[in-house]
Structure 1
Amino acid sequence: MKFLSIQSSVAYGHVGNSAAMFPLQRLGHEVWPVFTVVFSNHTGYGAWRGPMLSPDDVRGIVTGIEERGALGEVGAVLSGYLGGEGIVDVVVDAVQRVKTANPEATYTCDPVMGNARSGCFVADSIPPLIRDRVLPHADILTPNQFELGFLTRTEPDSLSSTLASADMARDMGPRTVLVTSVERPDRPESTIEMLVVADDGAWIIQTPYLPFKANGSGDVTSALFTAHYRTTGSASQALAATASSVFDLLSNTLASGERELRIVESQETFAHPRMQFAVQQVR
């Protein structure tokens, strides 16, 4: 399958397209990256160099691909962090162009806004833009639990409230919602969960919690889940494969003592997930 991935790029480290591309390629998919920024490193370091591309420049890249007659070959569009109204418009326009050329194509939105520990780290204008202008065009949404609550104006914490919030998000457009990190008070100590809610049911998977921050892990998660879901047609299988690969990636990164994800070293975990965690249907 061919992916059109509209995300950031960094030379050093792995976030945005610099995190999503290689795992998809290792699975055998073609990736056409459209960069929104070209930075030396991700902004979590507090200092970086390189340009943020204008919306017109980003749109021009998509137009150039369209002029090759290639948008009809795209099976899935991905987007991550959206820095402002201009980029939001570019992403929505690109999704519409792809779906016009190929009605079977899907769009996965990773609504990067923050997390429970750091809070919201985007401008106040971004969540309403994603909620009102992006979600209606999305087929798959991949928020963490905090972002899910922010988008739905709820406070999901239990399994039932997280399911309810996911259903609210699904009513906004995307039929499949992958909650990439679920932390409910009644879970076993030192564990974390992922939850997927789709038209045919809801499933949860539990893995050990690894106590460190890994920039770019959400970008990998969104890309892998989309690839597995589109390939298998099964949300539960996609959840199991994604959770297995991401856990092994994070384990390898933690063991290395490095700050940046060990994506290249973990390539076998993408190609051959160990499927070491059980998926439980919860609805």
Structure 2
Amino acid sequence: MNVLSFSSHVVHGTVGNRAIQFPLNLRGWNVDCVNTTNLSNHPGFKTFKGSKTDAATIADIFEGLVEIGLQYDAVIVGYVASVPNLECIADILAKLSYKPLVVLDPILGDNDKLYVDENLIPFEMETLTDTKISDWSSLTASVTRFYDLYNVRFVVITSVNLGGAMYCIGCLDRETTFAVPVDQVPAVFSGSGDLFLGLLTDVFYRTKDVETALRRTVDVVQRVLRRTLELTDTKMSIGSSPYIPSLKLVESKDIIE
């Protein structure tokens, strides 16, 4: 199984392709990464060096992959960093002569902070649909609105707080949704969304079943987060919550496989 992943790269840390490649390798995937950034570390460490990759470079790299005859069973689109990069990747996907599974995560921010070009907004489900999700009824309205606006077959909403409880929501169509309860781990993590993206791609590709993929992915990610929390001695903080900038992926190998 071959997957192409467009996302960020850091030398140190477990975000972007660093959180996608290793888990998918463990599960038997050959992972080719097109890095939309090349940074020393992610911004959660308060300081970092490096730069974004420009769209011309992304297009050139992909052309090189095409020239040696590569095709992919799945394509992951994570952190793209800029509007030109997003347009470039969209153009690449539109021109493919075959139809891989495409899994897109509109990664625009985290922990209430935006960290991409503001022109990439709309931001996440509420802004994508111009709705406020506060209860089950408004969630249903938001999902219906999403399907009215966008040509997407399946939708996963990773974090929805309803009635004081956290859920992941899966949408099979505008009328069929299901909820997976999430036991919140008492800390803030970087890279958990990227890990989720990679694992969801794996399970959905194998099973072709959104509910199975979502339930299995939530379970594994939650266990990785708990182990990371247990094994991390020195923690930073975001507000009153402990902040852990790096996941313990190697130490969680037995959970991920």
For normalisation by structure 2, the TM-score amounts to 0.88
User: Structure 1 residues 235, 8: CA separation in 2 closer, same or farther (over 3 Å shift)?
Assistant: same
Q: Secondary structure at the match of 2:180?
A: strand
* Alpha carbons 2:37, 2:81 under 8 Å: kept: no
Q: Secondary structure at the match of 1:197?
A: strand
User: 2:247 aligns to what?
Assistant: 261
What is the deviation of 1:222?
1.3
Is 2:76 aligned against 1:111? no
* Alpha carbons 1:225, 1:238 under 8 Å: kept: yes
User: 1:62 aligns to what?
Assistant: 62
* Alpha carbons 1:178, 1:197 under 8 Å: kept: yes
> What are structure 1's unaligned runs of at least 5 residues?
129-145, 272-283
Distance (Å, rounded) in 2 between the aligned partners of 1:165 and 1:119: 22
Identity across aligned pairs (percent)? 29
Runs of 4+ in 1 over 4 A off after TM superposition: none
Amino acid in structure 2 at the alignment position of 1:89: E
Map Cα deviations across residues 199-243 of structure 1 (whole Å, 9 max, x no partner): 393221113211211111111111111211111011111011101
Amino acid in structure 2 at the alignment position of 1:110: D
User: 1:131 aligns to what?
Assistant: none
Question: Which of 132, 135, 147 in structure 1 is aligned with 2:124?
Answer: 147
Alignment: residue pair count: 244
Distance (Å, rounded) in 1 between the aligned partners of 2:160 and 2:84: 31
* Alpha carbons 2:8, 2:80 under 8 Å: kept: no
What is the deviation of 1:186?
4.9
Map Cα deviations across residues 56-115 of structure 1 (whole Å, 9 max, x no partner): 111111110011111xx3121111122222101121022123xx3212x12211111235
User: 1:163 aligns to what?
Assistant: 140
User: 1:217 aligns to what?
Assistant: 192
Question: Which of 157, 172, 195 in structure 2 is aligned with 1:179?
Answer: 157
Higher relative contact order (CA 8 A, sep 6+): 2
Q: Secondary structure at the match of 1:169?
A: helix
* Alpha carbons 1:38, 1:53 under 8 Å: kept: yes
Question: Which of 56, 74, 78 in structure 2 is aligned with 1:76?
Answer: 74
Distance (Å, rounded) in 1 between the aligned partners of 2:255 and 2:177: 25
For normalisation by structure 1, the TM-score amounts to 0.81
Is 2:203 aligned against 1:195? no
Is 2:99 aligned against 1:124? no
Q: Which moved more, 1:261-270 or 1:118-127?
A: 118-127
Distance (Å, rounded) in 2 between the aligned partners of 1:163 and 1:124: 27
Map Cα deviations across residues 17-62 of structure 1 (whole Å, 9 max, x no partner): 0111111111111111001111110012221112322211111111
Q: Secondary structure at the match of 1:101?
A: coil
User: 1:239 aligns to what?
Assistant: 214
Q: Secondary structure at the match of 1:193?
A: strand
Q: Secondary structure at the match of 2:159?
A: strand
* Alpha carbons 1:182, 1:195 under 8 Å: kept: yes
* Alpha carbons 2:6, 2:79 under 8 Å: kept: no
What is the deviation of 1:164?
2.6
